[in-house]
Structure 1
Amino acid sequence: MSAFITTKQAAAYLNCTPQHLYNLRNKRKSAIEEGNKALANKLAPEAIKIGGKLLFEESKLENWLRTYGEVA
Structure 2
Amino acid sequence: MTPLVQKQIDDRSAREGIPVSQAEKELLGEKQPSLQFTTPEQLGELAVFLCSDAASNVKGQAWAMDGGWTAQ
TM-score, length basis structure 1 = 0.32
Q: Which has the larger radius of gyration?
A: 2
**Larger strand fraction of residues:** 1
